Amino acid sequence: MLPRGSPTIRLLSGLAVTLAAVAVYSSFTIGQIHTLEQLQRDTIDRSRADSLFLLRIQNDLNSVALAMRDMLDSDEPYALTAWRAPFRRLRTDLDDALAREEKLAATDRAPDEARYLADSFAQFWGSLDRVFALAEQGHQSKAREQVRLSLQARHAALSAAVARLLVRNNESDQQVAGHAQQIYARVERNVYLFLGAILAVVLITSLYLVHHNRRMFRDVAAVSEQRSELARQLISVQENTFRYISRELHDDFGQILTGIGAMLQSGKRLRAELPPALRQDLQEIREIVQSTLEKTRTLSRALHPVVLEEAGFDSALHGLLPAFQKQTGVEIRLETDGESIPIHQDIAIHLYRVLQEALNNIARHARSTRAIVRVRYAPYEIVLEVEDNGVGLANRNPQQGMGLLSMRERAGLVDGKLDLTDGASGGLLVRFTVPLRREEVPASA
């Protein structure tokens, strides 16, 4: 299967576009927030402070109006000059409020308007000074007349001017609030658009990743199937090779060694005529031939257990365990559970090979003195367990894994399950579970 291109470039491109969009949106949002901050700082807060001072001026003007009303009241027992001190305090407070208000006045206020307010207050205080001068000269009636004709008119003009400034500030606040609302609306709209775009990018990326992962998993599944088929073929070739070598050893080399042994046995009657040294050599040769014949037969049975084909898994099991115990000195105990059933040859050979490999691992790596082999015949499966009392899997050489790999491959070929766990005695427990084929399931199950 041809390899497909990596999605890294496309994913990185999508990430770059997303980061660029985030950067642009963040810059725009930060700019809008700074505009709002400047608007709040330079316009709204300043206008509110200015309105507070205008209200202070208006309140002082109301106090001035009340004082002038009292001055014109004929029932008042005080002379007009008695009002000089209250007006002096009001003038001080008004001058202070006017000075502060002028600093906070809106930048769009016309210079003529600012001069008009200052000139109007100056004229008012000038008229008030003339009223008090007339009163000091004893012209109470003229002074009161001046209050009615001049001061009240100027006071009304000042009150109207301050009221207009308050109204203008309110209108400016409303305009600024509307502008701020527009900015908030734009930011909110852009947030929704940005979230929509991000969600679209995430959705497209997710769909692409799902599609790519599905395609990758299909490729992996195909490769895994090919690997399983290759493993099946390799194991089949291996078993055929073992069978061929076993037959060759048994039929050819075994017969040759048997013939040599028979020839040496038939020449036994001639030993009396031979020198003692030669008779000793012939005896040693006969023993060597007999030992080689036994080793050849043992190797032949190990490569391909003929008894597995002729008598079944149970017979092969009872033949393998004593031979292994005799060769290695490891005490083997066999435990069976359930009634033995005929097993298909394809499953039996894998059970036998897994058992062989587990025993070989015990002999080579476990440093074990005894082992238990358990075979449990369940209604729908066969469970083979091999447990030793040696070192566990964690303490074994990690490079000695080809046998375990072979067992896992054989387990996969028969849809079985291979588990490697720590045994009760501290050694390794190998559990091989094989499901039975339908035709192998007992009728009573």
Residue 433's pLDDT is 92
Residue 1's pLDDT is 43
DSSP string, 21-69: HHHHHHHHHHHHHHHHHHHIIIIIHHHHHHHHHHHHHHHHHHHHHHHHH
Please list, residue by residue across 412-430, b when 16 or more beta carbons sit within 10 angstroms of its beta carbon and e when fewer do: bbbebebeeeebebebbbb
Backbone angles phi, psi at 371, to 5 degrees: -150, 155
Helix axes 152-247, 402-413, angle to 10 degrees: 90
Q: Domains, the chain, ranges and CATH?
A: 8-209 (1.20.1330), 305-440 (3.30.565.10)
Residue pLDDT, tens place only, 311-324: 788 888 888 888 88
Q: What number of residues does the chain have?
A: 445
Decide if 391 contacts 367 (C-beta within 8 A).
Answer: yes
Query: Which residue intervals of 329-388 are DSSP H helices?
Result: 345-361
**Tally of CA atoms within 13 A in the half-sphere of 360 that contains its CB:** 14
Sign of CA dihedral 132, 138, 142, 148: positive
Backbone angles phi, psi at 138, to 5 degrees: 95, 5
Residue 9's pLDDT is 77
Residue 89's pLDDT is 92
From CA 355, how far away is CA 383, in angstroms rounded? 11
Sign of CA dihedral 352, 356, 359, 365: negative
pLDDT at residue 295 tops 70: yes
Query: Which residue intervals of 40-151 are DSSP H helices?
Result: 45-72, 84-104, 111-136, 140-146
Backbone angles phi, psi at 205, to 5 degrees: -65, -40
Instruction: Give the pLDDT mean for 122-136.
Output: 88
Of 12-16, 213-217, 426-430, least confident by mean pLDDT is 12-16
pLDDT at residue 165 tops 70: yes
Residue pLDDT, tens place only, 348-384: 888 888 888 888 888 887 788 888 999 998 888 899 9
Residues 6+ apart with CB under 8 A from 308: 315, 316, 345, 348, 349, 352
395/375: higher pLDDT:
375
CA dihedral of 31, 37, 40, 45, whole degrees rounded to 10:
-150
DSSP string, 408-427: HHHHHHTT-EEEEEE-TTSS
Identify which of 326, 445, 433 has the alpha carbon closest to the alpha carbon of residue 385: 433
The one-letter amino acid at 149: L
Instruction: Give the pLDDT mean for 161-188.
Output: 80
Residue 368's pLDDT is 84
Residue 398's pLDDT is 46
% of residues, the chain, pLDDT over 70: 77
54, 95, 135, 155 from 63: Cα distances, Å: 14, 14, 21, 11
From CA 110, how far away is CA 116, in angstroms rounded? 10
Please list, residue by residue across 350-387, b when 16 or more beta carbons sit within 10 angstroms of its beta carbon and e when fewer do: bbbbbbbbbbebbbebbebebbbbbbebeeeebbbbbb
Residue pLDDT, tens place only, 54-63: 898 899 889 9
Of 192-196, 235-239, 330-334, 441-445, least confident by mean pLDDT is 441-445
Backbone angles phi, psi at 344, to 5 degrees: -60, 150
Please list, residue by residue across 219-248, b when 16 or more beta carbons sit within 10 angstroms of its beta carbon and e when fewer do: eeeeeeeeeeeebeeebeeeeeebeeebee
Backbone angles phi, psi at 443, to 5 degrees: -65, -25
Instruction: Give the pLDDT mean for 199-227.
Output: 81
Backbone angles phi, psi at 168, to 5 degrees: -65, -40
Backbone angles phi, psi at 413, to 5 degrees: -70, -25
Backbone angles phi, psi at 373, to 5 degrees: -110, 120
Of 43-47, 302-306, 388-392, least confident by mean pLDDT is 302-306
